[in-house]
Structure 1
Amino acid sequence: MALCQRWRRLRLPGLQTCRLHTAAVPAPPQWLAERLGLFEELWTAQVKKLASVAQKEHQTIKISLPGGQRVDAVAWSTTPYQLAQQISSTLADTAVAAQVNGELYDLERPLETDSDLRFLTFSSAEGKAVFWHSSTHVLGAAAEQLLGAVLCRGPSTECGFYHDFFLGKERTVRGSELPALERICQELTAAAQPFRRLEASQDQLRQLFKDNPFKLRLIEKKVTGPTAIVYGCGMLVDLCRGPHLRHTGQIGGLKLLTAEYTRRGFSEVKTPILFSTKLWEVSGHWEHYQEDMFALQPPNSDRLSSSLSDHATSHPADTLALKPMNCPAHCLMFAHRPRSWRELPLRLADFGALHRAEASGSLGGLTRLRCFQQDDAHIFCAPDQLETEIQGCLDFLRSVYTVLGFSFRLALSTRPSSFLGEPCLWDQAEQVLQRALEEFGEPWELNPGDGAFYGPKIDVHLRDALGRPHQCGTIQLDFQLPLRFDLQYKGQAGAPERPVVIHRAVLGSVERMLGVLAESCGGKWPLWLSPFQVVVIPVGTEQEEYAREAQRRLQAAGLVCDLDADSGLTLSRRVRRAQLAHYNFQFVVGQKEQSKRTVNIRTRDNCQLGERDLTEAVQRLLELQNTRVPNAERVF
């Protein structure tokens, strides 16, 4: 069974509310029942062995708890959960795992020696990881029982989890199977099945997973000691270090979000969404996520996209805007005539449309599309210009994200196991990126082995208002494209030299960035980006002509302006309607404003700014728009 076959990746977050179906769980495959039988034999033997050890080495040990409290326990018998029960019932209900002398422990795993003990709840990063990883096992069990899936890996992520499994050549999960898969997950959690930790030898591991080539390969590569840990939960048996929840009942409900497949294993792992669970309310409701937060109405949606695109190209790093879009096109442009070192760095950028064949289940709003725009730029430079150019890219990225109001995290992704080029070039490129990050001054982390096959990269991650992480911007070094396209320039000494390419995107996908902004703004777009900047509201029909004049003045200045002269509504109703539509400003004009050529200004938050001269008001709006201030309503 080849590793490069088609896979299926399913993502489920925990959810507070769910609806159980009544259909029965299908009969398990024969190999699954055989594996469970062997696990039960090994588990029974381990229980007897531990009971013998506990009886033979019965002794009192000292346990130090947070706050300086010390309690007695019995070696090989007392568990962290029993101590949690002694402390308080609330702690026993909310604890998901323990930390014993710095090591993560199951709550039901007996303590062995004098220990410093700390309880982990869902509020901690470690607790979340335990909770989500336990949820992954439920999904794996459901996939095995319903689909006969061969499990691959199912890790937790920062905000949830996913599971990869193999269904056979050209086999994918059908849409009609998703409700049944979700139903089995619900039944497994409702059954409150315990997670059982088993220590197995290498021979026992090979016997347990003889029908799973992926686990066998993992055992061959990763299990270096005489034993490794296996967890059993219901009919599921999986190779796993743990720890886990006490039982599946702590998970609550699970809701199936998306399914996607990839032909090359785990090359496109994405983080699913974190939602509410049975025990811990985390961040919002699944139904809220499923609905479109905003309907971007034409032609105003065009303004959002164009304003954002203008913002991401208003920097000297983009000296040429093009429409043919992709990396090879820019390489051909570089190569179409002889180049000199005096022309470097040569910076090319465009917002061309890209297309990607996404599985239907993986599409989601604006954040995952089959057709999208990318602010793609390629900088051709000499090797000794690399560090300066990378620093310029980082500075530009920070300036763009600051205006958008986003904080971000940086990650340096280094050489993967499969790469092109010489290791010495990779080492040099990684050192350049690391020096640039250190000089940049923002926190960054190392992401070993996650670079592109052609070069290392700096990835930029941000979160939206729902806490969902998004990988948007990226800065990548590429020594391979210049080699493949035989790109050369005449160096200062007159000899031909080869440039280095920097791939740079700040927004990433424009549509994805709009989706993230929509969540963050909650409909209240900043003035410079807003599709609803100003609405002019005449008090009566006598002021309608002056109101139209004010509208024309605003539109002539390049501002988005509408007119609400609905005589069927009172002035207060029209003002309220404009505020609910999140117009940044309402210009109210009555008899006094008409005679004095002024406007009476209100904001969408019903702050009354008072009477202003129309010409001065238009000029002030232009200043606020051009400087891209995030709070134009407050600083007007």
Structure 2
Amino acid sequence: MVKVTLKDGKIIEVEKGTKVSDIAMKLSPALYKKALAAKVNGEKAELMTEINDDCTLEILSFDDEGGKWALRHTAAHILAQAVKRLYPEVKLAIGPAIDTGFYYDFEADFSFTPEILEKIEKEMQKIVKEDLHLERFELPREEAIEYVRKNGEDYKVELIQDLPEDSVISFYRQGEFVDLCRGPHVPSTKKVKAVKLLSLAGAYWRGDENKKMLQRIYGTAFSKQSELEEYLHMLEEAKKRDHRKLGKELGLFAIHDEGPGFPFFYPKGMVLRNLLEDFWREVHRKAGYDEIKTPIILSEALWHQSGHWDHYKENMYFTQIDGDDYAVKPMNCPGSILVFKDGMHSYRDLPLRLGELGLVHRHELSGALHGLMRVRCFTQDDAHIFMTKDQITDEVLAVVKLIDDFYKVFGFEYFVELSTRPEDSMGSDEDWESATNGLKGALEKAGLEYKINEGDGAFYGPKIDFHLRDCLGRTWQCGTIQLDFQMPERFDLSYIGPDGEKHRPVMIHRVVFGSIERFIGILIEHFAGAFPTWLAPIQVKVLPISEKFHDYAEEVAKKLKEKDIRVEADYRAEKIGYKIREARMERVPYLLIVGEKEAENNQVSVRSRKNGDEGALALDSVIERIEKEIKTRENYLVQA
């Protein structure tokens, strides 16, 4: 017998060789029905896994990330099987699960069309109903290469050849279909209750633009049809809120063919952008930050010294000046370090908080560009904090509070991840352990729940990431706090301690918006372009019902402007109903309609986005109300 410790701490005994699925049935038939995968000793496992030693065990359903992942991974195999059934000559590349579903890359001598996708989806539904069981088997590396080569799967051959020579390679069989795969999977295709193919895209093999362009089919899968329908409804809602579409309609920004990945902000977009920057400056002044500005182009030697050359040069742009090599900055930190380095600092000066709204440029593949969400130039609201080691916890806590207060203004909820040392990193094990423990300690002291994101830290240090959740439940990684022992070492930074000796400071890199451009994209989609009054590019539209009332409309607009309220008056010879509809399409928070009665009584008829038709109100009281909304930065959501 072996002892199995369950998630709740309960210990049960089972016979050696018992499958996880049998344990699930023993615990509860309801659990067995929902079970999709498992964790054994914290590692991903399948329900088909046999338990041969004492262990910890967690049964995973679709509510768990691991269960969701296993089901969608199996859905990717079902997609590949359906394609091979219908089009045997197509070659398979890779097909993983992703956060929103799954995809699979194919090489085909024809283009997949919506009609073909529909045909593939029907075949997938047939495979689900066939209840094909997934069976894992393994082959030595050379046998595995021969096996996939015999089936004409060149991409699989390349994948195996990149593995060590002593590797044992795993495959999964479902019916007549076999695919190279590490797993894990659900036990049967029947577990994939609801599946939908969503879109097509081009994808370079292994993400290398010098390699062949493949066709990528995206899909999603759920354990219940109702969950799929809810997700599809969310996608439809997201289409209505697409920031690229609304950005154009509302005159906020555009991206032209002459500058792919380089956004143009129009006058209304600049109003929104400047309001966000002003808010950022206000918050940071109160929190004790000094603002700096550093150059966009700096010498290539600096980027060698910082480590970006070794870890980031593929994403950088380069130029020459007077025969010397320079780089366009992808990050602001080296410039901030030079500011710190240009002078002597005492321990009494620390912590020193330097903030910068710095324009950075990063080379992104054309296929990855997406409106404001993924661009080639953007403004990072960076700050770099130079401090002593014993100030780490207090400074991280202060940044956590600043970020929390900041996001509350926009009505965002968020969750937190702690990302640890990546493979491509620099620095000693001791420094990484110290930095990671410093961040953990601050999070625990702040009482924040967090999950560990193994291996996803920056190359110079671990980081805390803040993921915003918008009104559709989607998440966006924005704020980050990175603790860095490496840059101060590489740049030989120092301060004079109380003992009169030189000491090495520690550095925090942190952003709140992340990228102002991306944050604007998120805000557009979150509010569906209907920004709260304080952020709206036009806060009020004055609509005279006829030419006779233009003078009074002008008087109303003048009073609003005197109070720094952003206002437009519509003097066109159009019917009032048309003017109202058009202003509503522009998402203006307040429409003030003026006619004979309003002019006589110094009133306006108010239509607010929040309350609808409010009738005639005194102009002064309406102005006072709008001023209060702006001052308090009141925010609210409306239907798209």
Q: TM-score, normalised by structure 1?
A: 0.70
Q: Which residue of 2 aligns with 1:515?
A: 521
Indicate yes or no: 2:284 matched with 1:284.
no
Indicate yes or no: 2:347 matched with 1:334.
no
The CA distance in 1 between the partners of 2:473 and 2:616, in whole Å, is 41
Alignment counterpart, residue 604 of structure 1, candidates 595, 606, 609 = 609
Q: Which is richer in strand?
A: 2
Residues 67/432 of structure 1: CA separation in 2 closer, same or farther (3 Å cut): closer
Whether the aligned pair in 2 keeps the contact of 1:96 and 1:130 (CA below 8 Å) is no
Indicate yes or no: 2:226 matched with 1:255.
no
Q: CA deviation at 1:565?
A: 2.6
The CA distance in 2 between the partners of 1:157 and 1:475, in whole Å, is 25
Q: Which residue of 2 aligns with 1:324?
A: 295
Indicate yes or no: 2:97 matched with 1:156.
yes
Alignment counterpart, residue 459 of structure 1, candidates 452, 461, 465 = 465
Q: Which residue of 2 aligns with 1:503?
A: 509
The CA distance in 2 between the partners of 1:198 and 1:485, in whole Å, is 54
Q: Which residue of 2 aligns with 1:243?
A: 186
Q: Which residue of 1 aligns with 2:394?
A: 388
Q: Which residue of 1 aligns with 2:143?
A: 207
Indicate yes or no: 2:172 matched with 1:230.
yes
Question: C-alpha deviations, 1:353-401, integer Å up to 9, x for none?
Answer: 2222222221222211122222111111121111111111111111111
**Which amino acid counterpart does residue 135 of structure 1 have in structure 2?**
A
The CA distance in 2 between the partners of 1:178 and 1:338, in whole Å, is 64
The CA distance in 1 between the partners of 2:637 and 2:134, in whole Å, is 58
Please, which runs of 5 or more residues in structure 2 have no aligned partner?
1-21, 51-57, 150-156, 210-216, 252-265, 297-331
Which one scores higher on RCO, CA 8 angstroms, separation ≥ 6? 1
The CA distance in 1 between the partners of 2:497 and 2:489, in whole Å, is 16
Q: CA deviation at 1:413?
A: 1.1
Whether the aligned pair in 1 keeps the contact of 2:37 and 2:60 (CA below 8 Å) is yes
Alignment counterpart, residue 536 of structure 2, candidates 530, 544, 549 = 530
Indicate yes or no: 2:68 matched with 1:128.
yes
Question: C-alpha deviations, 1:508-544, integer Å up to 9, x for none?
Answer: 1222222222222122211111123111122332321
Alignment counterpart, residue 621 of structure 1, candidates 626, 632, 635 = 626
**Which amino acid counterpart does residue 184 of structure 2 have in structure 1?**
R
Q: Which residue of 2 aligns with 1:197?
A: 134
Whether the aligned pair in 1 keeps the contact of 2:479 and 2:513 (CA below 8 Å) is yes
Residues 287/590 of structure 1: CA separation in 2 closer, same or farther (3 Å cut): closer
Residues 360/606 of structure 1: CA separation in 2 closer, same or farther (3 Å cut): same
Residues 96/257 of structure 1: CA separation in 2 closer, same or farther (3 Å cut): farther
Higher mean C-alpha displacement, 577-586 vs 462-471: 462-471
Whether the aligned pair in 2 keeps the contact of 1:305 and 1:510 (CA below 8 Å) is yes
Indicate yes or no: 2:360 matched with 1:354.
yes
The CA distance in 2 between the partners of 1:145 and 1:334, in whole Å, is 63
Whether the aligned pair in 2 keeps the contact of 1:106 and 1:245 (CA below 8 Å) is no
3-state DSSP class of the match of 2:413? coil
Alignment counterpart, residue 583 of structure 1, candidates 566, 588, 600 = 588
Alignment counterpart, residue 493 of structure 1, candidates 499, 502, 505 = 499
Residues 185/483 of structure 1: CA separation in 2 closer, same or farther (3 Å cut): farther
3-state DSSP class of the match of 1:586? strand
The CA distance in 1 between the partners of 2:377 and 2:476, in whole Å, is 18
The CA distance in 2 between the partners of 1:273 and 1:629, in whole Å, is 39
Question: C-alpha deviations, 1:14-71, integer Å up to 9, x for none?
Answer: xxxxxxxxxxxxxxxxxxxxxxxxxxxxxxxxxxxxxxxxxxxxxxx9995998799x
The CA distance in 1 between the partners of 2:372 and 2:79, in whole Å, is 27
Q: CA deviation at 1:561?
A: 0.9
Q: TM-score, normalised by structure 2?
A: 0.70
Please, which runs of 5 or more residues in structure 1 have no aligned partner?
1-60, 71-79, 85-94, 111-117, 166-172, 265-271
Q: Which residue of 1 aligns with 2:447?
A: 441
The CA distance in 2 between the partners of 1:470 and 1:364, in whole Å, is 14
Identity rate, percent: 31
Q: Which residue of 1 aligns with 2:18?
A: none
Q: CA deviation at 1:627?
A: 1.8
Higher mean C-alpha displacement, 523-532 vs 614-623: 614-623
Question: C-alpha deviations, 1:417-475, integer Å up to 9, x for none?
Answer: 34322222222211211111112223211122222221110011123444443211111
Residues 382/329 of structure 1: CA separation in 2 closer, same or farther (3 Å cut): same
The CA distance in 2 between the partners of 1:617 and 1:63, in whole Å, is 63
Q: CA deviation at 1:328?
A: 0.7
Alignment counterpart, residue 308 of structure 1, candidates 266, 276, 289 = 276
Q: Which residue of 1 aligns with 2:5?
A: none
Residues 496/177 of structure 1: CA separation in 2 closer, same or farther (3 Å cut): farther
Q: CA deviation at 1:229?
A: 6.2
Higher mean C-alpha displacement, 293-302 vs 375-384: 293-302
Residues 420/135 of structure 1: CA separation in 2 closer, same or farther (3 Å cut): same
**Which amino acid counterpart does residue 283 of structure 1 have in structure 2?**
Y
**Which amino acid counterpart does residue 313 of structure 1 have in structure 2?**
R
Higher mean C-alpha displacement, 470-479 vs 602-611: 602-611
3-state DSSP class of the match of 1:283? helix
Alignment counterpart, residue 565 of structure 1, candidates 558, 562, 571 = 571
The CA distance in 2 between the partners of 1:340 and 1:145, in whole Å, is 71
Q: CA deviation at 1:186?
A: 5.6
Residues 496/122 of structure 1: CA separation in 2 closer, same or farther (3 Å cut): closer
Whether the aligned pair in 1 keeps the contact of 2:545 and 2:575 (CA below 8 Å) is no
Whether the aligned pair in 1 keeps the contact of 2:238 and 2:525 (CA below 8 Å) is no
Residues 241/229 of structure 1: CA separation in 2 closer, same or farther (3 Å cut): farther
Q: Which residue of 1 aligns with 2:412?
A: 406
Whether the aligned pair in 2 keeps the contact of 1:201 and 1:228 (CA below 8 Å) is yes
Whether the aligned pair in 1 keeps the contact of 2:72 and 2:220 (CA below 8 Å) is no
The CA distance in 2 between the partners of 1:341 and 1:98, in whole Å, is 53
Question: C-alpha deviations, 1:554-590, integer Å up to 9, x for none?
Answer: 23433221112333303x4433432333211112233
Question: C-alpha deviations, 1:173-202, integer Å up to 9, x for none?
Answer: 99x976479958964862645755334355
**Which amino acid counterpart does residue 335 of structure 1 have in structure 2?**
K
Q: CA deviation at 1:137?
A: 2.9
